[in-house]
Amino acid sequence: MYVNVSDKCSAIRARKEEGPPIAALTAWDYPTARLLDEAGTDLILVGDSLGMVVLGFPDTTHVTMEHMIHHVSAAARGCRKALLVADLPINSYDNETEAVQNAHTLVKAGAEAVKLEGGTEQAENVAAIIREGIPVLGHLGMLPQQVREEGGYRTKGKSSAEASCLLQGAVALETAGCFAVVLESVVPTVAKEVRCHTGIPTIGIGCGTGNCDGEIAVTSDVIGSYPWFVPPFATQRADVAGEIRKSVSDYILHCHATERTTIPAPAAS
Ligand code: KIV
């Protein structure tokens, strides 16, 4: 059944009151998106974390609009029921005009909504995108696109100044029209406070269990397909990397042990 985008966003929004908690995951290609969609994932994010777990960059600051367009269009071909959200990459929403233009480009590639990082300072960009009819998912707390300025990944909300900044940011994003907000690596008690003070769902990653209205995870952390770095808060539920290693070693052994058919001697002339 075809469900329109605004109904999908309203359904996500209603989960704050009605439950069950939102289950969100990231995808970067057709088979991943299709498998997640068929399994019943509520929201699929083509996150700029694909810069690390798919493209091999050290962080998300290397991701461009071209990368996003390529992966959003692949994921969109596999997504039917879930709401498909695409990250606006770094430097793609430095002002309202660029934010709106790039949001339209991601929608044209197949996204149904966009996500951007930041709170109060992003409220005008968010409102401008929403005026164009494109739903926006906010992102507060640890902001991976700021990793270079911050010199690393830090949990947010440790000081009362940071906690009130998060609360203000959530209210600003809700007022600007976001249908939900991701909270990343926020002190659990503060994440809970943000959840209680906003009318839109909070979707947590690295905020402890039960402190948000749902959870989002990077799929490679859940399925164990990127073994070289797993964030401390992630729960790995499968060992895809181990399975690939085993099956590929088995294949290599098979190739090396194969007895080849004899090449017939050339006919004497
Ligand atoms: O890019 C991403 O995968 C994200 C999630 C961590 C929320 O933004």
Q: 121-130 pLDDT, tens per residue?
A: 999 999 999 9
Q: Name residues whose C-beta falls within 8 Å of residue 143's C-beta, 6 or more positions apart in sequence.
A: 117, 118, 184
Q: Is the CB of 218 under 6 A from ligand 1?
A: yes
Q: What is the mean pLDDT of residues 9-30?
A: 98
> Is 2 a residue whose pLDDT tops 70?
no
> Distance from CA of residue 84 to its chain's centroid?
10
CATH of 5-240, one of 3.20.20.60, 1.10.10.10, 3.30.420.80, 1.20.1250.20: 3.20.20.60
- Rounded to whole angstroms, how far apart are CA atoms 210 and 214? 8
Average confidence (pLDDT) over 78-98: 98
Please report where in the chains the tokens 């989002």 appear, as a residue: 216
* Marked catalytic residue, from 112, 117, 184, 215: 184
Query: Residue 103: pLDDT above 80?
Result: yes
3-state secondary structure 39-104: HCCCEEEECCCHHHHCCCCCCHHHCCHHHHHHHHHHHHHHCCCCEEEEECCCCCCCCHHHHHHHHH
Distance CA 224, CA 226 (A): 6
What are the extents of the domains in the chain?
5-240
Atom number of ligand 1 nearest to Cα 48: 1
Name residue 203's beta-bridge partners.
Answer: 182, 214
Instruction: Check residue 269 and give its pLDDT.
Output: 74
Environment class of residue 227 by beta-carbon count within 10 Å: exposed (0-12), middle (13-18) or buried (19+)?
middle
H-run or E-run covering 180: strand 180-184
Average pLDDT, rounded, for the chain: 97
What pLDDT was estimated at residue 188? Answer: 98
The reply to whether omega before 20 is within 30° of 0 (cis) is yes
Summarize the confidence of residues 71-86 as an average pLDDT: 98
Ligand 1 in reach of 145 Cβ (< 6 A) = no
What separation in Å is there between the alpha carbon of 188 and the centre of ligand 1? 18
pLDDT average, residue stretch 66-77: 98
Specify the residue with its C-alpha closest to ligand 1, atom 8.
47
pLDDT value at 268 more than 90 = no
Cut 0.85: pTM above it: yes
Q: Is 182 in the pocket of ligand 1 (CB under 6 A)?
A: yes
Arithmetic mean of pLDDT, 45-67 = 98
Q: Report the distance separating Cα 200 and Cα 202, nearest Å.
A: 7
The answer, yes or no, to whether residue 27 has pLDDT greater than 60, is: yes
Cα separation values, 244 from 18, 31, 40, 228, Å = 40, 16, 25, 14
pLDDT in tens, 156-206: 999 999 999 999 999 999 999 999 999 999 999 999 999 999 999 999 999
Q: Tens digit of pLDDT for each residue in 142-161?
A: 999 999 999 999 999 999 99
Return the structure tokens found at 27: 């995808």
